[in-house]
Amino acid sequence: MLFSEIIGQEHIINHLKTSADNGRIPHAQLFIGNEGSGTLATAIAYAQYLLCSKNEDAASCNLKCEKLAHPDLHFAFPVATNDKVKKHPISNLFLDDWRTFIKEQPYGSLFNWFQQIGVENKQGQIGVDEAEQVVKSLQLKSYEGGYKVMIIWMAEKMNTSAANKLLKLLEEPPEKTIFILIAEDQEQIINTILSRCQVLTFPILSETDISDALISRNNSFPAEASKIAHQSEGNFNKAVHILKHDSNDIIFEQWFVTWVRTAFKAKGNAAVIQNLIEWSEAIAKSGRETQKSFLHYCLQFFRQALLDNYGAQELVFLETETQGFSLAKFAPFIHGGNIMEIEKEVGDALYHIERNGNAKIILLDLSIKLTRLLHTKESA
Q: Which of 278, 296, 290, 283 is nearest to 350 (CA)?
A: 296
**CA distance linking residue 293 with residue 297, whole number of Å:** 6
Give the model's pLDDT for residue 339: 94
- Per-residue pLDDT band at 146 (split at 50, 70, 90): confident
Helix (H, G, I), strand (E, B) or coil at 347: helix
- Per-residue pLDDT band at 139 (split at 50, 70, 90): confident
**CA distance linking residue 318 with residue 239, whole number of Å:** 13
DSSP calls for 204-253: PPPHHHHHHHHHHHH---HHHHHHHHHHTTT-HHHHHHHHHT--THHHHH
**CA distance linking residue 149 with residue 47, whole number of Å:** 6
Give the model's pLDDT for residue 247: 62
Asked if the model's pLDDT at residue 145 lies above 80, the reply is: no
Mean pLDDT across the chain:
90
Mean pLDDT of 4-21: 93
The top-scoring range by mean pLDDT among 109-113, 198-202, 222-226 is 198-202
Q: Which class for 344: exposed (0-12), middle (13-18), buried (19 or more C-beta within 10 A)? A: exposed
Strand-pairing partners, residue 59, are none
Amino acid of residue 332: P
**CA distance linking residue 226 with residue 235, whole number of Å:** 13
Give the model's pLDDT for residue 260: 93
The top-scoring range by mean pLDDT among 122-131, 315-324, 331-340, 371-380 is 331-340
Q: How many CB atoms are located within 10 Å of the residue 93 CB? A: 16
Whether 213 and 189 have beta carbons less than 8 Å apart is answered as no
Measure the CA angle with vertex 323, ends 322 and 326; round to 5°: 70
Helix (H, G, I), strand (E, B) or coil at 245: coil
Choose between 189 and 289: higher pLDDT: 189
Strand-pairing partners, residue 125, are 79
Whether 291 and 283 have beta carbons less than 8 Å apart is answered as yes
